Amino acid sequence: MIDVPEIDIGPLRDGGRQAADVAASLDAACRDVGFFSVVGHGVDPDLQGRLDTLARQFFALPMSEKDEIAMARGGRAWRGWFPVGGELTDGVPDDKEGLYFGTDLGPDHQRVRDGVPMHGPNLYPPRPRDLRSVVRTYIEVMTQVGQVILSGIAVGLGLSPTWFAEDLTADPTVLFRIFRYPAGSGSDERWGVGEHTDYGLLTIVGQDACGGLQMRTADGWVDVPPRPGSLVCNLGDMLERLTGGRYRSTPHRVRNTGTTDRLSFPFFLDPSWDAMVDRLPIVARPVEDDAARRWDHMSVHGFDGPYGEYLMAKVGKVFPDLAAGTMPT
């Protein structure tokens, strides 16, 4: 049975002598599994615990109060709260509610002035009051962790450790979600989130102790259990595209069959909005037509355009009503 490898990225953070070994372990995980967990990441457990506590306080609020920051109020920024069933996966409502955040951008930012979707200010609830500051800190910390992991992936691909930071993620598209999966809500007919892949480069997930995350392998679906002190990482479509299929964007899904609510905190470190994600010349591998094996029957190699267009085409299917009012026609 395929297992999710656990990798200590501490040497990447401090430039230790074992950094090359860490890069080799990341490369193997990216080739063989597409999932791995990391320790030695330096994220303060108190920050993670505070985020969990504040998120639970928010989700416990009356729906009328949560609706004050509904995503429809965020306009083109695509930020705020959505209720259970408000997000779709492959056309099916997910059994979860959530909060969408990203890089806080003011009205003078050029992309905000130009009305570019998914750019703008976050929507924060009046209470719990501290959620604003904790989310901002968490996004900053996780951006740093993501760049450290990408530096190891770069070395594993034979690139400079600063290649991602100086190229595809010099001005990254940063997205952060907080999801609540209601207790005992999973069923054969309805999933917390159905089978899908992520769209960008790297997803880093903090999760509570409930479990429920699964990845698809050649041997079938495999649980990705929560491990104390670790963060789960999986690859997005753009790393599969970049490497010509050497790395895989592994399908995954979530079902909460437990007796308590499950919270997860996925952080997405994606290419710059205007970045053209081209195949690396160092990857000497024929590019296969992967549409037939993918969950959405759409090849990640056939797309032609900047990353922002790819992302909008995907998320427009997740929130079709919102997309209808904010996406260019």
Tell me, what CATH number does 274's domain have? 2.60.120.330
Q: Concatenate the DSSP letters of all residues of 230-297 into one string.
A: -EEEEEBHHHHHHTTTSS----EEE---SSS-EEEEEEEEEEETT---PPPTT---PPP--GGGSTTS
The residue segments making up the domain with residue 298 are 19-326
* pLDDT score at 321: 73
CB-count burial class (<10 Å; 0-12, 13-18, 19+) for 36: buried
Reported as a pLDDT band with limits 50, 70 and 90, residue 329 is very low
- Is 304 within the bounds of a domain? yes
256, part of any domain: yes
Residue 3 domain-assigned (yes or no) = no
What percentage of the chain exceeds 70 in pLDDT? 91
Q: Is residue 1 part of a domain?
A: no
Q: For residue 259, is it within any domain?
A: yes
Residue 33 lies inside a defined structural domain of this protein: yes
CA angle at residue 240 from 239 to 245, to 5 degrees? 140
Q: What is the pLDDT of residues 125-180, one digit of tens each?
A: 999 999 999 999 999 999 999 999 999 999 999 999 999 999 999 999 999 999 99
Domain assignment of residue 11, yes or no: no
* Residue 203 included in any domain: yes
Structurally, the chain folds into a number of domains equal to: 1
pTM of the model: 0.93
pLDDT score for 320: 81
